[in-house]
Homo-oligomer: A and B are copies of this chain.
């Protein structure tokens, strides 16, 4: 497996995604160039970190004008995005699932939620917030048919592992997991956890012990 010798770290990829969002905003404001320290301030990073991250994607800055905003956004896009685009599914159309659909509706066309699944017949077989909602039982079939390769899990804790198993069986290679459970997945499947309970407890802890583990 020699194709891409040195993969960027999870941290770097996360920041690149963040930079791109910031660059899009700067473009909207009519900015044509940025310096690493400006991007750093906006991203909550250091200039050194920004330069290092941009180096990883093949940056094109000049010591006088900094980086061309549009060119940089394009470069990051070529690095992060699949050329053919990527399709995501949502499992669980409850409060949270609805919020997720609303959040991603109309965002980046190369990474959009194209199918949702739920067990509740009230919610299935119709379009919710612009997204077709299927019965959970159809999951494997639809995922194959729609060429979906990543999924967002917004089901209750008790249902998460079973849902993950189905998704992986259907060929999904990446999961964004909102359920407060650690998923067991085979090697090669990437899982990112968004555990609100854990995060709020972290915030509460460090708020009390203020100034000790600050950003």
Contacts and interface: CB of A to CB of B under 8 A. Distances in A.
Copies, count: 2
- Chief secondary structure at chain A's binding surface: mixed
Contacts of A196: 100, 103-104, 176, 194
A159 interface: no
B86 A96 contact: no
A212 B126 CA distance: 38
A17 interface: yes
Interface string A30-52: 00000000000011100000000
A108 B197 CA distance: 9
Given A111-B201, A149-B207, A150-B207, 20 more contacts: A1-B211, A10-B206, A14-B202, A82-B204, A86-B204, A86-B208, A94-B99, A98-B99, A107-B197, A111-B200, A111-B204, A150-B204, A172-B207, A173-B208, A173-B210, A176-B199, A187-B214, A189-B207, A190-B203, A190-B210
